[in-house]
Structure 1
């Protein structure tokens, strides 16, 4: 620990072995893994929310906002893929979540509410706390936002929004996701100021139930917004605008399929992968098997494929393949997908391929937006009673108008990741500074590493990263 607890450290309110910035899924799972490792360490998690383990994704309180993966896919224990299934089985048997009977499927095929998943994560942290206590390890929640970070040869120093200063031997950026609907932007269009939160059912109850609601974006956040509107009692038209006009497919439970990428490492480029994936899906269809079966085998190879691709290949994927990939890969939970399909068939929900061009003055109330439909050269104005920003996640830290991302970029402590997705890091999670040098005290995990591994947000990805990084930090 060197000079961590020396005279200089006396000016700090807290000192720790590990400082974890962010207490959502990433930070909580990292803390749980550290607590279970041999050794005595003090861990501080800095998270402005009242509860750990929830973050943006799992703070939802409505039962209709469910995981987009079934229980068998969402274990936080990388050594036990059935961990969530086992927890749910016990929870339901004890009288919890009685609404699960409505899904009428085995427990491993259930799509739990996101709020319930947050409770599961919290319980696993509590169990890890008990294990850590036996060897003198502790974790403490500091409820504040980190607004600045500095590094010297002996420690990392954090400045918090409440004026506190913390010092630690190692620090981890586990900041999670920055939803576009809730994240201040450095180049703001004013959209968020005029838009409703996609998950704010209470605010939606204030709308005229028959009014027209406009939604920007057609991915999984849009699906959540439609669920919110339905639960708020909205019964009017919903107009959805997105650049490509693609909806997420419904997630089904396909049978196992041969791991064709594991058998053939000659498939390296995005073009080769797509060509073979289409062929595999067509083979499945001709055999009467769900096309999602071959697609689901790709998941475990995404990090390898993305990391070995050239920058040009990555750009080609993001520009030409990403919309189709995300609508097929990031699929909607069945109950939510059924609602979207019903509203679409009823004519209440319309999907239009159009680009958002900005807000327009609306002197007579409601909101007016300017859009340009695909294939048209001129833009037009559309009006509704309310607007929802469902444009997904902001991964470019340069565009996130929060103090910490702006400060670490300005100080040169981090650099943007490939294609400006998150931040750059070494394979072991050590953050790369502006000169490309790997830090020995600053690490990252989860969504900030989107540019490194492409899929760095799913529960299984985060759980694996947490286990590996905990070993690295403890070592």
Structure 2
């Protein structure tokens, strides 16, 4: 185990320091505030509002959740919580556009900005509950750039020069969107690309110019929405390694949980064969193939955690692209826009891998791509370039002060297959020497390597509840 430096004197110590105040940090804070007992919480988050983070700071109504209201409750004990909240908002005239979707409230796909307001309101309610017991929540509006873990406390260095200390700390850093995250080494793609959600920047593009998009997942769908809102009417060329794109999320009827009925299905190959059989059976009965697929979701943490490293690598290499396009599906509005652009001949999605970004011969940008089945790379030019490659899960590649500091101090190590960071099943961080921390924890997207699916609202809500219970027990003494 690496040596720990002696802790400095501490005059003002929090009980829990939450690093990151997006959805993960806000849900954890809410769970802690609602638990019995008196405690002081610090949340360090550079954004002005807690609960929004990267995903729910969107300001355009066109950028919606990719799950309907019935799937997106922040209360793990009440799956209808968001549905009820939305009904109240609609009744109060706060979301008149909801009528355009023409479906019951539980099936609505709300704007991400509205969902951020919902998360913030639930946190405010928890603050009022906590205040009755003497608990407090302080939002420190800056960024943690370094961290030290001692036998009896954790000390964080803030970007503004201050230091804060707590008995326990949680890495609730959320997602590192590839389009907004500087990466270790040269990142010419982001240097040349427009932010997928920056509608104002897209208004500066020639409306008839060709836009090049790298990546064809849900961020690409967001990009199409942004371009539409910006008034772009020209061609859009999308490039990704497999040339797949998200299916539309529909509302299929219930289907028997075939994995629960047959626990012998364990390996990725067995799962795929059984799932294909179930989907063919559904189609033969006139039922949407998404019905059997949706039963798999609850079993993913178990299947992933019990898989061998070899099986995990096989899944990531051979199955992941199809899992992403079939499971991480597009909201109906985005899917309809994508299909309309394809039918109009304005949108083309190609199987090609990016080799490099090159200077354009004139105004605009150039990229060199290797199309599938071709040995030589081809140069393609456009009026603008967008990085829609999704989320960066490998913390070694994230050129942000805190991830780099944690790696240099050997306080963390990469998770399985370099996805996120390594933790024990209860969220305690495992350091570079394999020691399980009693002071430092993590939740949300950093746990990708442990559970595979660790970004959905329901995943994060359940993790917040479990971690809050662990944190409110007396911390173990360090060996």
Q: Tell me the TM-score normalized by structure 1.
A: 0.98
Identify which of 359, 369, 372 aligns with 1:371: 369
Aligned-partner SS, 1:275: helix
Confirm or deny: 8 A CA contact 1:186 1:401 kept in the other structure.
yes
**Pairs within 5 Å for 1:285-324:** 285-324=283-322
RMSD across aligned C-alpha pairs, in angstroms? 0.9
Cα deviations by residue, 1:335-354 (Å, 9 ceiling, x for unpaired): 11000000001000000000
**d(CA) in 1 for partners of 2:361 and 2:43?**
46
Partners of 1:7 and 1:169 lie apart in 2 by 13
Give deviations 1:290-338, integer Å, cap 9, x for gaps. 0000000001100000000000000000000000010000000001100
Tell me the equivalent position of 1:428.
426
Distance between the aligned counterparts of 2:383 and 2:427, measured in 1? 46
* Shift, 1:235, TM fit: 0.2
Separation in 2, partners of 1:286, 1:187: 51
Residues 33-432 of structure 1: pairs in structure 2 closer than 5 A = 33-432=31-430
Aligned mates of 2:203, 2:13 — CA distance in 1:
46
What is the DSSP-based 3-state SS (H/G/I as helix, E as strand, rest coil) of the residue aligned with 1:102? helix
Instruction: Note if contact 1:414-1:424 (Cα within 8 Å) is conserved in structure 2.
Output: yes
Deviation at 1:410, TM superposition (A): 0.8
Q: How many Å apart are 1:261 and its aligned residue?
A: 0.8
Is the 8 Å Cα contact of residues 210 and 236 (structure 1) preserved in structure 2? Answer: yes
SS in 2 for 1:297: helix
Q: 1:371 to 1:207 in 2, by over 3 A?
A: same
Q: Corresponding residue for 2:3?
A: none
**Aligned position for 1:21:** 19
Where do 5+ consecutive residues of structure 2 fail to align?
1-6, 474-479
How far residue 364 of structure 1 moved from its aligned partner, in angstroms, is: 1.4
**8 A contact 1:430–1:440 mirrored in 2:** yes
Q: Which runs of 5+ in 1 are unaligned?
A: 1-5
* TM-score normalised over the length of structure 2: 0.97
Matches of 1:51 and 1:194 in 2, distance apart? 29
Q: Does the CA contact (< 8 Å) of 1:430 and 1:439 recur in 2?
A: yes
Contact 1:189 1:358 in 2 (8 A): no
Whole-angstrom distance in 2 between the partners of 1:437 and 1:309: 23
Are 1:201 and 1:232, in contact at CA under 8 Å, matched by a contact in 2?
Answer: yes
Report Cα offsets for 1:46-103 as digits up to 9, x if no partner: 0011110000000000000000000000000000000000000011001111000000
CA distance in 1, matches of 2:191, 2:274: 45
The answer to whether the Cα contact below 8 Å between 1:156 and 1:167 also exists between their aligned partners in 2 is: yes
Q: Matches of 1:310 and 1:453 in 2, distance apart?
A: 13
CA distance in 2, matches of 1:432, 1:74: 30
Distance in structure 1 (CA, Å) of the matches to 2:326 and 2:370: 25
- How far the C-alpha of 1:361 sits from its partner, in A, is 1.7
What do the CA deviations read for 1:231-251 (whole angstroms, capped 9, x no partner)?
000000000000000010000
Runs of 4+ in 1 over 6 A off after TM superposition: none
Render the CA deviation track for 1:245-302: whole Å, top value 9, x for unaligned: 0010000000000011111110010000000000000000000000000000001100
| SS of residue matched to 2:463 | helix
Report the Cα distance in structure 2 between the residues aligned to 1:363 and 1:356, rounded to whole angstroms.
18
**How many pairs are equivalent?**
467
CA shift, 1:437, in A, is 1.1
SS in 1 for 2:10: helix
Q: Which residue in 2 is equivalent to 1:3?
A: none
2 CA distance for matches of 1:362 and 1:385? 9
Report the CA distance between 1:187 and its aligned residue: 2.6
8 Å CA contact 1:431, 1:442 repeated in 2: yes
Shift of 1:363: 4.1
Distance 1:454 1:106 in 2: 31
Please say which of residues 150-159 and 358-367 is displaced more in the overlay. 358-367
Task: Measure the CA separation in 2 of the matches of 1:207 and 1:443.
Answer: 44
Per the alignment, do residues 468 and 281 of structure 1 end up closer, same or farther by CA in structure 2, a change over 3 Å counting?
same
Kindly state the Cα deviation for residue 435 of structure 1 after the two structures are TM-superposed: 1.0
CA distance in 1, matches of 2:334, 2:446: 28
State the shift of 1:9 in Å: 0.5
SS at match of 2:115: helix
Q: Distance in 2 between matches of 1:7 and 1:233?
A: 56
* In structure 1, C-alpha distance between the alignment counterparts of 2:74 and 2:66, rounded to whole Å: 15
